[in-house]
Structure 1
Amino acid sequence: MGHDIALLKPGSQKQLYGNLSDFELTAIEPPLWAALLAAYLRQKGFSVALLDAEAEGWTREQAAAALAEAAPRLAVLVASGTNPSASTMNMLGAGELMARVKELAPGTATMLLGLHPSALPERTLLEEKTDFVCQGEGFHTLPALLAALAAGGEIPEIPGLWRLGADGRPLAGPRPPVFADLGALPRPAWDLLPMGRYRAHNWHCFDDIARRQPYAVIYTSLGCPFRCSFCCISALFGRPGIRYRPIADVVAEIDWLVANHGVRNIKILDEMFALDEQRVVALCRAIAERGHDLNIWAYARVNTVTWPMLEAMKRAGVNWLAYGFETASRRVLAANAKGYDLGQVDAVVAMTRQAGIHICANFIFGLPEDDYDSLQETLARMQDINAEWANIYSVMAYPGSRLHATAVERGWPLPETWDGYSQYSPRCRPLPTDSLTGGQVLAFRDYAFEAYYRNPRYLDMIRRTFGLPTVRHIQRMAEKPLARLHAEPYAGCAGPQGPTP
Structure 2
Amino acid sequence: MIIVNPNNRTPGKFAAIEPPIWCAYLASYLKTDEILDAEMEGLSIGETVDRINGRDCVLMAMGVNPSASSTPKMGVVNELRKRLKGNVSVSGLHPQGLEDTLPIVTLSPKLRGLAPSWDLIDFSKYKAHNWHCFHDLDSRWNYGVVYSSFGCPFNCYFCNIKTLYKGITFREPQDVVDEIAYLVSRGVRNLKFCDELFALNEKHVSKICDGIKDFNLNIWAYARADTITKEMLVKMKGAGFNWLAYGFDGTGKGDPYEAVRMTRDVGINVMGNFMFGLPGET
TM-score, with structure 1 as normaliser? 0.53
The residue identity in structure 2 corresponding to 1:65 is: D
Which residue of 2 is the match for residue 253 of structure 1?
A: 179
CA distance in 1, matches of 2:9, 2:80: 21
Which residue of 1 is the match for residue 92 of structure 2?
A: 114
The residue identity in structure 1 corresponding to 2:185 is: A
CA distance in 2, matches of 1:93, 1:349: 36
Report if aligned partners of 1:88, 1:116 keep a CA contact under 8 Å in 2: no
Alignment map for 1:115-134 (pairs within 5 Å): 115-122=93-100, 125=102, 133-134=103-104
Which residue of 2 is the match for residue 40 of structure 1?
A: 29
Report if aligned partners of 2:7, 2:73 keep a CA contact under 8 Å in 1: no
- Paired residue secondary structure (1:365): coil
- Paired residue secondary structure (2:174): helix
CA distance in 2, matches of 1:104, 1:306: 54
Structure ID, larger Rg: 1
CA distance in 2, matches of 1:99, 1:353: 47
Structure 2: gaps (5+ residues): none
Query: Is 2:20 aligned against 1:31?
Result: yes
CA distance in 2, matches of 1:98, 1:347: 46
Query: Is 2:279 aligned against 1:368?
Result: yes
Which residue of 1 is the match for residue 207 of structure 2?
A: 282
- Once the 2 structures are TM-superposed, how far is the Cα of residue 101 of structure 1 from its aligned partner? 2.7
- Once the 2 structures are TM-superposed, how far is the Cα of residue 255 of structure 1 from its aligned partner? 1.4
Which residue of 1 is the match for residue 132 of structure 2?
A: 204
CA distance in 1, matches of 2:130, 2:226: 27
- Once the 2 structures are TM-superposed, how far is the Cα of residue 36 of structure 1 from its aligned partner? 0.8
The residue identity in structure 1 corresponding to 2:17 is: I
Residue range with higher mean Cα deviation, 203-212 or 213-222: 203-212
CA distance in 1, matches of 2:91, 2:198: 25
- Once the 2 structures are TM-superposed, how far is the Cα of residue 93 of structure 1 from its aligned partner? 4.4
Identity %: 40
CA distance in 1, matches of 2:71, 2:104: 14
Report if aligned partners of 1:79, 1:91 keep a CA contact under 8 Å in 2: no
For residue 84 of structure 2, the aligned residue among 91, 96, 105 is 105
Report if aligned partners of 2:147, 2:194 keep a CA contact under 8 Å in 1: yes
CA distance in 2, matches of 1:353, 1:99: 47
Query: Is 2:49 aligned against 1:79?
Result: no
- Once the 2 structures are TM-superposed, how far is the Cα of residue 221 of structure 1 from its aligned partner? 0.6
CA distance in 1, matches of 2:82, 2:201: 50
- Paired residue secondary structure (1:26): coil
Report if aligned partners of 1:11, 1:90 keep a CA contact under 8 Å in 2: no
CA distance in 2, matches of 1:258, 1:31: 17
CA distance in 1, matches of 2:228, 2:116: 28
Query: Is 2:276 aligned against 1:353?
Result: no
- Paired residue secondary structure (1:210): helix
The residue identity in structure 1 corresponding to 2:256 is: V
Report if aligned partners of 2:33, 2:120 keep a CA contact under 8 Å in 1: no
The residue identity in structure 1 corresponding to 2:200 is: L
Structure 1: gaps (5+ residues): 15-20, 126-132, 140-177, 327-332, 375-501
The residue identity in structure 1 corresponding to 2:8 is: S
Alignment map for 1:126-275 (pairs within 5 Å): 133-134=103-104, 136=106, 138=107, 178-179=109-110, 182=112, 184-185=113-114, 187-237=115-165, 239=166, 241-260=167-186, 262-275=187-200
Per-residue CA deviations over 1:341-389 (Å, capped at 9, x if unaligned) read 4xx222222211121111111111332345xxx5xxxxxxxxxxxxxxx
- Once the 2 structures are TM-superposed, how far is the Cα of residue 12 of structure 1 from its aligned partner? 1.3
Stretches (4+) displaced over 6 A: none
RMSD: 2.1
Report if aligned partners of 1:121, 1:135 keep a CA contact under 8 Å in 2: no
Which residue of 2 is the match for residue 298 of structure 1?
A: 221
Count of residue pairs brought into register by the alignment: 282
CA distance in 2, matches of 1:78, 1:230: 24
For residue 44 of structure 2, the aligned residue among 50, 56, 59 is 59
- Once the 2 structures are TM-superposed, how far is the Cα of residue 295 of structure 1 from its aligned partner? 0.3
- Once the 2 structures are TM-superposed, how far is the Cα of residue 113 of structure 1 from its aligned partner? 1.3
Report if aligned partners of 2:22, 2:62 keep a CA contact under 8 Å in 1: no
Alignment map for 1:409-488 (pairs within 5 Å): none
Between Structure 1 and Structure 2, which shows a larger proportion of helix residues?
A: 1
Report if aligned partners of 1:222, 1:270 keep a CA contact under 8 Å in 2: yes
Report if aligned partners of 1:196, 1:214 keep a CA contact under 8 Å in 2: yes
CA distance in 2, matches of 1:192, 1:134: 27
Aligned CA distance change for structure 1 residues 251 and 242 (closer, same or farther; 3 Å): same
TM-score, with structure 2 as normaliser? 0.92
Per-residue CA deviations over 1:202-237 (Å, capped at 9, x if unaligned) read 211122223211101001010101011211011112
CA distance in 2, matches of 1:232, 1:135: 19
The residue identity in structure 2 corresponding to 1:247 is: P
CA distance in 2, matches of 1:354, 1:36: 37
CA distance in 2, matches of 1:347, 1:105: 55
- Paired residue secondary structure (2:46): helix
The residue identity in structure 2 corresponding to 1:91 is: T
Per-residue CA deviations over 1:115-172 (Å, capped at 9, x if unaligned) read 011112345x4xxxxxxx5354x25xxxxxxxxxxxxxxxxxxxxxxxxxxxxxxxxx
Report if aligned partners of 2:200, 2:228 keep a CA contact under 8 Å in 1: yes
CA distance in 1, matches of 2:235, 2:95: 38
CA distance in 2, matches of 1:201, 1:27: 4
Aligned CA distance change for structure 1 residues 8 and 88 (closer, same or farther; 3 Å): farther
